[in-house]
Amino acid sequence: MQIGFEIERDEAIANTMRVPAFAGRYLRICDAHAALEHEKVRTDWLADPKTLIVGGGSNILFVRPQVEKVVHLAAATFGYVDEPHTVLAWAEGGLGFDDWVRWTTTQGWYGLERLAEIPGTVGAAPIQNVGAYGMQLSDVLISVDVWDRVQQCRSVLPAAACDFGYRYSCFKAEPHRWFILRVTVRLRKTAPPDWPPLNYPGLAQAADSFAHEANRALPLLTPCDLAQIITRVRRQKLPDWRELRLGSLGSFFQNPVVSNSFAAALKQRWPDLPVYPQAAQNAFVAESKLSAGWLIEQAGWRGFSHNNAGIYAQHALVLVNLGGALGSDLWDLAQRIQADVFERYGVQLVPEPLIIDN
């Protein structure tokens, strides 16, 4: 054991898809500040673009099971800075993201409750700009503390410098550059004017049921209450990532964003297709988001399986390892779905997870 970190060899890489994955050399960082004082950590590990940074393994599909070098941040302290009407809540990258959400909502702070039950670590969350039920992490994020693997320095990136978009960030654009150490968000101490935000399919009904059970009016629901409601809704349609029975990465494909004109043409041919107009990103192209799950289900893939790689029976957007599937089996299935959806609808599905295949 060395100060701030430890090195293992031939270490298994934990991942929620439950496929075989191994690292020839595995660096576990328990104290980021202490570890970064060591030149060996900075140059031999982090400066090497071939080194893979992993969190909870909830957004990586290992098609190739062997990785030469892996760095895992296990540092998981958290806290907050008090402000008059808000708090600046921070957490190190190794903390479980859902654990952080539960802690903030238990404090009665508003802002992260709709992101309950999302797997992975705090450090991984900004990479995908995780989002659910009408919000994204970037809606409350203030800054991200990073180690720049190229410039070999530590810095703090404000949210405006992170280039956040739908399932996108500068961290995703340059995956070999950034090592996320800490995330800071601003949360409210009092309910926002639109509380509770239930304008998402299925939420309003679940909230009514919860409020009736708790004998509480909807406006009196707490952040912790809404996190519990979100948990109920997610578990009805998604595998529980804590269980070993099924391997899953959650939603495997992004909801495609297309031009309004193309969306209208699809809607004319398939009237039931869900279409969600998006806020204008530029002055030239108005865009709409489509439901990837709908496209996959209508193409007949829901419940399909081959070589123990399948599509979850409760949700067509979720690839599952039914037991013993290899990463290559799951990736083959994903590519078959991509090709079929493109042939039927002219829509290119983009995977959400990082694909390790070369």
Catalytic residue annotation: 167, 251, 352
Vertex 120: Cα angle to 47 and 8 (nearest 5): 50
- Indicate left, alpha or beta for 18 from its phi (over 0: left) and psi (-120 to 50: alpha): left
Closest CA to 175 of 155, 154, 153, 146: 146
Strands 60-62 and 287-290: unpaired
Rg (CA), the chain: 21
- For residue 191, give the DSSP letter: -
Q: What is the DSSP string of 277-330?
A: E---SSSS--EEEE-HHHHHHHTT-TT-EETTEEE-TT-TTEEEE-SS--HHHH
Q: What is the DSSP string of 95-156?
A: SBHHHHHHHHHHTT-BSSGGGTT--SBTTTHHHHT-EETTEEGGGTEEEEEEEETTTTEEEE
* β-bridge mates for residue 317, sequence order: none
How many CA atoms lie less than 13 Å away from 45 in the CB half-sphere? 27
Which class for 65: exposed (0-12), middle (13-18), buried (19 or more C-beta within 10 A)? middle
* β-bridge mates for residue 263, sequence order: none
